[in-house]
Amino acid sequence: MRLLPFVALLILFLPSQVKTAELSDASSECLDCHVSIAPGMVAGWQSSRHARVSPLESLKKPELERRVSAKWVPSDLVQSVVGCAECHTLNPEKHSDTFEHNGYQVHIVVTPEDCATCHPVEEKQYGQNLMSHAYGNLLNNSLYQDLVQTLNGVQFFDDGHISIKPASPETNEDSCLSCHGTRVEVKGFDSRETAMGEMEFPVLSGWPNVGVGRINPDGSKGSCSSCHTGHRFSIEMARKPHTCSQCHKGPDVPIYKIYQVSKHGNIYSSIGKKWNFEEVPWTVGEDFTAPTCATCHVSLVVTPEGDIVAERTHQMNNRLPWRIFGLIYAHAHPKSPDTSVIKSKAGLPLPTDLNGEPASTYLIDNNEQQKRRKILQKVCLSCHTQQWVDGHWARFENNIRTTNEMTMTATELMLKAWETGAAKGLAQNDSIFNEAIEKKWMEHWLFFANSTRMSSAMLGTDYGVFDNGRWYMAKNIQEIYDWLRMMLAVNSETSIEEKLKKK
Amino acid sequence: MRLLPFVALLILFLPSQVKTAELSDASSECLDCHVSIAPGMVAGWQSSRHARVSPLESLKKPELERRVSAKWVPSDLVQSVVGCAECHTLNPEKHSDTFEHNGYQVHIVVTPEDCATCHPVEEKQYGQNLMSHAYGNLLNNSLYQDLVQTLNGVQFFDDGHISIKPASPETNEDSCLSCHGTRVEVKGFDSRETAMGEMEFPVLSGWPNVGVGRINPDGSKGSCSSCHTGHRFSIEMARKPHTCSQCHKGPDVPIYKIYQVSKHGNIYSSIGKKWNFEEVPWTVGEDFTAPTCATCHVSLVVTPEGDIVAERTHQMNNRLPWRIFGLIYAHAHPKSPDTSVIKSKAGLPLPTDLNGEPASTYLIDNNEQQKRRKILQKVCLSCHTQQWVDGHWARFENNIRTTNEMTMTATELMLKAWETGAAKGLAQNDSIFNEAIEKKWMEHWLFFANSTRMSSAMLGTDYGVFDNGRWYMAKNIQEIYDWLRMMLAVNSETSIEEKLKKK
Amino acid sequence: MRLLPFVALLILFLPSQVKTAELSDASSECLDCHVSIAPGMVAGWQSSRHARVSPLESLKKPELERRVSAKWVPSDLVQSVVGCAECHTLNPEKHSDTFEHNGYQVHIVVTPEDCATCHPVEEKQYGQNLMSHAYGNLLNNSLYQDLVQTLNGVQFFDDGHISIKPASPETNEDSCLSCHGTRVEVKGFDSRETAMGEMEFPVLSGWPNVGVGRINPDGSKGSCSSCHTGHRFSIEMARKPHTCSQCHKGPDVPIYKIYQVSKHGNIYSSIGKKWNFEEVPWTVGEDFTAPTCATCHVSLVVTPEGDIVAERTHQMNNRLPWRIFGLIYAHAHPKSPDTSVIKSKAGLPLPTDLNGEPASTYLIDNNEQQKRRKILQKVCLSCHTQQWVDGHWARFENNIRTTNEMTMTATELMLKAWETGAAKGLAQNDSIFNEAIEKKWMEHWLFFANSTRMSSAMLGTDYGVFDNGRWYMAKNIQEIYDWLRMMLAVNSETSIEEKLKKK
C-alpha cells in the first residue's frame, strides 16, 4: 500500500524524461569516441538540460519560464538537443582555434559569442559587466599592471638590495589571471599520438582558463563556464554561492565567507537543501526562503503571485549603486565596464585620486545610483519591511563614508612616508606597491576597508569587526605610523646599509 | 491526470498535516495585506511549526516532548495557531513601539518577554545567560567601552600625531552591537506612503538588529530570533552550527571554524544530512551520531532508552566551568550574567587583574565548577569512555594554564613598555588599547590564547597550532619584544617626530 | 513498464537488509552493557557495514567490488559480522593495553595491525605512507624537534630576556601530535567505580588520539580511524573532503580551504549530495562528477565501461611526484616514509639544504617522478583533455620553481641576519626558529610558499594570490628586509637592553 503513491509518482515523471528531441548525427559521432576518452566530461553533459531539450522546445515556453533569450535559433540547430557539435563547431571562421577533426571544423574554446546563438541577451548584458573586461581592466592600467608585477614577480636579494624580476606568463595565469581571465591564443599546431592514432591539434597559450574576462580565440571576452560550469552548465550551480566563492573569498573580496556567516547564509546552509534551484522564474518564499548571491545580483525573481521582483541581469552592476572593493576608495560605479579609460584629475588611471576625489566624469551620477539602489532594495523588500531596509542601508552608507575616511588617514601617512624618504614613491619614480610599508597601506584598502564594507552590505558581522574588519584598519594605521617612524630611524643610520652589502 | 499521484501522496501524509487549529481572525487580517507586501516573510512563517500547531495541542504533549514550557497559556491565545497578531500585539502597554495599525495595537519588535507567554522557562534561563547582558557587559564597562572606541572610532593623522574621533551610533551598530545587540528605541513617529495609502509608523533607532543582548522597546533584553531565525523559528536551524557561526567565527571566537574541522564537525558535514533535527527530545545515536553546538550546550538530550543525558538549558554556562574567551585570562565563570558589576583587586572592571589574579568574589567556586564540568562531561560520555573524557579534559585544563602563562608573559612585556615609555598606558592617562604594540598584546589574548583554548575544548587541532594558535602566541611574544625595543629606539630620536609634523 | 525495474529494485534491496550473518556471542555480551553505557558509540557501529556483513560475505564479492583485501580470514572471525569483540580482542598478546574484562582479554586501542586481519593490503600500503611515520618524522628530527619546542613551549620574560620552558607532553599531544599522532603507552592499571561495580582498567598516556602516525600499544603505527571514523568506519566519510580537513586546513596545509573554492569543490558543494559515496569501485561520471580528495589520492576509480582509471592506494604518495609542503623547499618525494634518516650535504636532517640543494640520495629520481605524474594525470584525464592537463601541470611546476626561488631570497636574508648579528642562528648555537624575524622566514615556506603551491595544484586561486599566497610572499620578503635593518638599529643601541632589565 505504501508503494502506491510512489508508483503514481513514477508515472508522473515519465513523460518529462522521455526525450522528444534527439542528438544530432554530428554530436553522436563525437560521443562515439569521447565517451571513453574523457568519460567524466561526457557524463557531465549527459546530466545537463542541454542533453535533454532542444532550442525548439525551449522557445515554446512562456516568456518568464524561458531559459533561451533568442527570438529564433538557426534552423540547423533548433531541433536537436544541444550536444558537442552544436557548440564546438559554431562560427568556425571566427575562431582561430578551429581545426579539422575527423571531418568537422571543431574549436576548443566555446565562447560567449557562441553561447549567444541561444542566449544573446545574457551575452550582451555580460558585455556591460565589469567582469567581462577584467583582463584589460587589470593589465591595461599602468598602476594595476605594476601591482601585478610587484605581486607576482620573483624577488631577489643582491648586494644589500631587493629587486623584482618580471613575472612569467605562467605565473600570471596561475595567479591574478586565473580569475580575471587569460588571453587564449593559438601558438601553432602540433600533432599528438592519441587512442585514435596521430592527430593534429592547435596549441593554445593561456589554456586552460575559465576566468571571467578571458580573451578568447574568436576575440570575444569572458567565459560562461566561469559560473555555468561545463559541461553541465547548470542553473542550480550558478545560483548556489559556492560558484561565486571560486573568485570571491580571499581577503580582497571575502564575500563568500561573509555570506556563510550571515543570517542569509545560515538559512541557506541550514535548510537550503529543501529549496528548488532549478525553477525559472525563481519564486521567493516558494522556491527559496533566503537569498543566495544570485538572488540579489542576477536572477529573475518573482513573488508567489507572479509579480516580478527583479528582472534577470548578467550585467549585475545595474543593481549596484556603489563599487566597494578593489580600489583605494569606494565610489559610484564606473559608467563603462572598460575602466582602463578612466583618468583622475591628478592624471592617475583611478576612479578616485589619492585624496579621495572621484573622477566624476567616468562614474554614474546620484540619479543613476538612486535608480540602482531602488532595484536592489526591491529584492530586500520581498522579505523585509521598508524601515528594516532603510536602517540597513543607512548603516551601509555610513560604513562607506567611515572606511573611506580611514583609508584617507592611511594614505596621508603614506604621503608623509614618501615626502620624508621613509619610502620611495611616484616622486622618486618608484613603485608605490613594492615596499613593506606600502603593502601595509594597500592592505588597508584592498583587504580591510573592503571587508568592512562588504560585511555591512551582507551582514556578516565579524568581517567588519575582528576578521579583517575595523580591528585591522585601526591596528594597521597604528602600525603604519610606527613603521614610518622606524624606517626614518633606520634610514638615518648609514652603517646599516653597509652591513647588508656583500663582503 | 498530473494530479493523481499528488493526491495519493497527500492522502498518505494527510494525518500529520491536517491543521486541527486555525488561524485567528486578527492574523488572518494581517496576512490579507502582508502576503503581497513581504511575501518571503510570510512564507517563512507558513513553513513554521507556529503556523500549524496551537498552544493547546502543544500543552497536551508528554512533558519531554513539549516545546512550550508554560503550564498554561492565556485563553485568547491557546486555541489558534501562532500567527502574526499573536506575537505582534502582545503586551501592547509595555511596548514603546506599539502603534495603531488598521485597528490593532501592533508592535514591531517581538521580544523574549513576548515569547515568554508560551516559553517562560527558556526566557528565564536566557536572562541568566551572559549573552542576554551582552550590550551592558560591553558598554557599561569603562575599559571595554574604550576598546570599542579604539576599534570603531575613525582615526585622523594631524600634525605628526594620530587621534581618534568617537564612533557614531551607526558604526557601533554595524560593528560590535551587531552581535552584542543594539538599544532599540522609538525616536518618534512618521507617516509614509505605502501600497495601502499613507500610514504612520514608529521610527526606531538601533533597528534592524537581532543581537543576543538587544535592549528592546519593552525594556527586555535579547532576541530569540538571534538563533531561532524569524519567521520560521525553527529548532532545526537553532540546532545546526551555522546559526552559532553568525557571531562565533571570527579570530576572537573561532568556534564555528574549529567545529568544522573537528571530528564532530566532520561527521556532521559528511553524514549529518541524514539526522533528525526536529525531534524533541533529541536522542543520541538515533536522531544524531555526533554533537552540534546545541547538543553540548543547549539541547535536551536523551538516550535511546529514554534516560536524560542533559536537561535543556538556555542559560548555557551552567554546563561550563570555565570562561575561555573575550577576557585577558581564562577564569571561572562569573556568578552574575551582568559582568559590569565586577571589580578586580586593583580596581579594574575585569574578572582577573593584569597579573592574572581572579576577582574571586564575583566568580563561581571550585565546587560549582566541578558541578558544571560533570554536567557537560555526561554529554561526552554518551559516546566516549570515561578514560577518553578524562584524558581530553586533562589536556584542556593544561591548555588553560599554559595559555594563561603565555598571556602573562605578553602582559609583562606591556608593563615594561608602559614603564619605559615605549607606549603610553594607564599611568599616562592613555588608552591601553590604541597603540600598535598594545593591539599586538590584545591579539595575544583576544585572538590567539582564545583560539588555542577553544581548539583544545572542541578538538579543532589547527586552531591551537598554526591557525591563530600556539604558533601565533609564540611569534607574537617575540614581535612584541622586538617592537618594544624598536619603539624605545624611535622615541629616543627626537628628529623623527619633527619630520612628521606639518611643514 | 518503467516501473518494473524499481519494483525489482525494491525487492532486491529487501534481502540485503535482512542480516544473513549474526553477531558473535562475545560481541553480543559486550553490547548487553555498552548499549547503555555509551549508546552513541554503539549506535555508530550499528549503522556501519561492519554490523551487517560478515567477512565471508565480503570475500565472495567480485574482486573489484571487494572491500576486504585479505585472501582469507581466520575461521573464528569469518562468519559473524564484525562486532566489538572481533576487533577489541584480536592479538591480545601483542597489545600491552590488553586487560581482563568480564572474562575476555580486551584491548582499548584497535590498531592497523588489528585491522590488517581483513584489510592487509591497505595496512601494508599505509605503512609506506609518510603519514604512518608522522610521529617519528617530527620528533626524531633534531631540527623539527626544536621547531616543536619553540612552538609549544611556554615563554617567559625575565630580566630583559625571553626564555622558553620545554613543552609538557599534554601540550604536545594537544598541539602537533593531535594530527601527527601520540605515543600511546600503558602507564599502569587502576580500578574505577563503574555502573557495573568496581573494575580495573589500563591507564594510558597519550590517550585519546586518532593522529595519523600514532604509536600504538602493540608497536604498530597509525590509526585507521583518523579517516575511517569510529565506530562507523564509513567509506562515505573517508571519501568526503571534510575528513581530510581535520588536519589539512591550517595555513601550513590549507588544502581543504583550497578545495572548497576550487571548481571541483564548488561542484561537490553544489551537487555532490546527489553522488554515490558508498559504491566500490567508484565510477567517474556515474557515482560522482567531480573529484574529492580521495578520488585523486586514494580511491579505486573506474570508468563507466569498467576500465580502471586508478588503483586503490593507501600509500598516496605513489600518485605524487612532488612533496610541496612542510619543508623549506618543494622537492621530489623521499624514498622512505621514515624521513628522519635523511641527511643533507651540509649535514642537516632536511631533504634540501638551506641553499635549496636536494639530498638526492634520499629522494625519488626523475623517472619515478614521471611515473607518479602519469598515474595522477590519468585521473585528470578522465574528465579533461590532454592539452588541458598539460597546461595545468606546466603552471604547477613553474609555480614550484618560483616559490622555491622566493624562499631562497627569504633564506638569503636570514643568512645575512645571522651573519650580521641581527638574529642568532646555528653559528651562535641558537635555535633558528625562536626569534620574530626567524618566524617570519618560517612563515615564508611553511605558510605562504606552501599555500601558493597547493593553490596551483588544486586550482583554489586565491590561496596562491591574496589568501596566504604570492601577496604574502612578496610582502614578507619586504618585511624581513625591513625587520633585519631594524634589528641592526636596535642592537646598536646598548641603552635599550639596559632599559628592559629589572630595576
Q: Which chains touch A (3 or more CB pairs under 8 A)?
A: B, C
Taking residues A281-295, report their average pLDDT: 97
DSSP letter assigned to residue A500: H
Interface touch B461/C39, C-beta < 8 Å: no
For residue B269, the distance in angstroms to the closest alpha carbon of chain A comes to: 11
Q: Which residues numbered 289-318 in A keep a CB inside 8 Å of some CB on C? A: none
What are the chain B neighbours of C483 within 8 Å (beta carbons)? 482
Say if C475 is an interface residue toward chain A (CB within 8 Å).
Answer: yes
β-strand pairing of A301-302 with A282-283: parallel
Of residues B269, B398, B482, nearest to C168 (C-beta): B398
Interface touch B478/C174, C-beta < 8 Å: no
| pLDDT of residue A7 exceeding 90 | no
Smallest CA–CA distance from A404 into chain B, residue? B154
Of residues C305, C395, C475, nearest to A439 (C-beta): C475
Say if A474 is an interface residue toward chain B (CB within 8 Å).
Answer: yes
| Predicted confidence (pLDDT) per residue in C39-70, tens digit | 999 999 999 999 999 999 999 999 999 999 99
Of residues A461, A463, A474, nearest to B247 (C-beta): A461
As a whole number, the mean pLDDT across chain B is 95
The three three-digit cell numbers of residue A431, written as one number: 613603485
Sorting pLDDT into bands at 50, 70 and 90, what band is C494? confident
Say if B355 is an interface residue toward chain C (CB within 8 Å).
Answer: no
Smallest CA–CA distance from C176 into chain B, residue? B465
Measured CA to CA in angstroms, residue B15 lies from B10, B11, B67, B153 at distances of 9, 8, 20, 58
Say if A393 is an interface residue toward chain B (CB within 8 Å).
Answer: no
* H or E, element range at A194: strand A185-194
Least confident of A7-11, B348-352, B487-491, C34-38: A7-11
Say if B465 is an interface residue toward chain A (CB within 8 Å).
Answer: no
Residue A187 CB: number of other CB atoms within 10 A?
Answer: 11
Taking residues C394-406, report their average pLDDT: 98
Of residues B174, B201, B437, nearest to A399 (C-beta): B174
What are the chain B neighbours of A285 within 8 Å (beta carbons)? 39-40, 42-44, 46
For residue C202, the distance in angstroms to the closest alpha carbon of chain B comes to: 9
Of residues C208, C250, C447, nearest to B388 (C-beta): C208
What are the chain B neighbours of C46 within 8 Å (beta carbons)? 285
Interface touch A242/C269, C-beta < 8 Å: yes
ipTM surpasses 0.90: yes
Interface touch C108/B387, C-beta < 8 Å: yes
B161-165 contacts at long range (C-beta below 8 A, 24 or more positions apart): B161/B500, B162/A409, B162/A477, B162/A478, B162/A481, B164/B434
Residue C193 CB: number of other CB atoms within 10 A?
Answer: 9
Sorting pLDDT into bands at 50, 70 and 90, what band is B20? low
Longest Cα separation, chain C = 94
| Predicted confidence (pLDDT) per residue in B453-477, tens digit | 999 999 998 999 999 999 999 999 9
Say if B186 is an interface residue toward chain A (CB within 8 Å).
Answer: no
| Predicted confidence (pLDDT) per residue in B416-433, tens digit | 999 999 999 999 999 999
The per-residue pLDDT for A431 is 97
Of residues A286, A391, A474, nearest to B43 (C-beta): A286
Say if B269 is an interface residue toward chain A (CB within 8 Å).
Answer: no
| pLDDT of residue A440 exceeding 70 | yes
| pLDDT of residue A371 exceeding 90 | yes
Sorting pLDDT into bands at 50, 70 and 90, what band is B13? very low
10 Å CB burial of residue C105 (0-12, 13-18, 19+) is middle
| pLDDT of residue A12 exceeding 60 | no
Say if B476 is an interface residue toward chain A (CB within 8 Å).
Answer: no
The per-residue pLDDT for C20 is 64
Residue B104 CB: number of other CB atoms within 10 A?
Answer: 17
Of residues C155, C156, C496, nearest to B474 (C-beta): C155
Q: Is the Cα dihedral B360, B366, B372, B377 positive or negative?
A: positive
For residue C419, the distance in angstroms to the closest alpha carbon of chain B comes to: 19
DSSP letter assigned to residue A168: P
What are the chain B neighbours of C234 within 8 Å (beta carbons)? 270-271
Count how many residues are written for chain C. Answer: 503
The per-residue pLDDT for B368 is 98
Task: Choose the mutation target among A6, A258, A266 for the interface with B, i.e. most B CBs under 10 Å.
Answer: A266
| Predicted confidence (pLDDT) per residue in B167-185, tens digit | 999 999 999 999 999 999 9
The per-residue pLDDT for A20 is 64
The per-residue pLDDT for C196 is 84
For residue B39, the distance in angstroms to the closest alpha carbon of chain A comes to: 6
| Predicted confidence (pLDDT) per residue in B62-88, tens digit | 999 999 999 999 999 999 999 999 999
| pLDDT of residue B17 exceeding 70 | no
Interface touch B40/A270, C-beta < 8 Å: no
What are the chain C neighbours of A154 within 8 Å (beta carbons)? 402, 405-406, 409
Say if A388 is an interface residue toward chain B (CB within 8 Å).
Answer: yes
Taking residues A411-435, report their average pLDDT: 96
| pLDDT of residue A11 exceeding 60 | no
Say if B271 is an interface residue toward chain A (CB within 8 Å).
Answer: no
Say if B188 is an interface residue toward chain A (CB within 8 Å).
Answer: no
Report which of B380, B395, B390, B389 is spatially closest to residue B264, judged by C-alpha positions: B380
Q: Are the C-beta atoms of residues C26 and C39 closer than 8 Å to each other?
A: no
The per-residue pLDDT for A493 is 87
Residue A99: phi and psi, rounded to 5, are -145, 160
| Predicted confidence (pLDDT) per residue in C19-40, tens digit | 468 999 999 999 999 998 889 9
The three three-digit cell numbers of residue A183, written as one number: 588571453
**pTM summary value:** 0.95
Sorting pLDDT into bands at 50, 70 and 90, what band is B230? very high
Whole-number Å distance between alpha carbons of B180 and B187: 21
Strand partners, C204: C186
Whole-number Å distance between alpha carbons of C75 and A387: 74
For residue C269, the distance in angstroms to the closest alpha carbon of chain A comes to: 7
Interface touch C289/A203, C-beta < 8 Å: no
Q: Please provide the DSSP assignment of B31-66 as one string.
A: HHHHHHHSHHHHHHHHTSSTTT--HHHHHTS-GGG-
Say if B496 is an interface residue toward chain C (CB within 8 Å).
Answer: no
Taking residues A294-307, report their average pLDDT: 97
Q: Are the C-beta atoms of residues C153 and C166 closer than 8 Å to each other?
A: yes
Q: Which chains touch C (3 or more CB pairs under 8 A)?
A: A, B
Q: Which chains touch B (3 or more CB pairs under 8 A)?
A: A, C
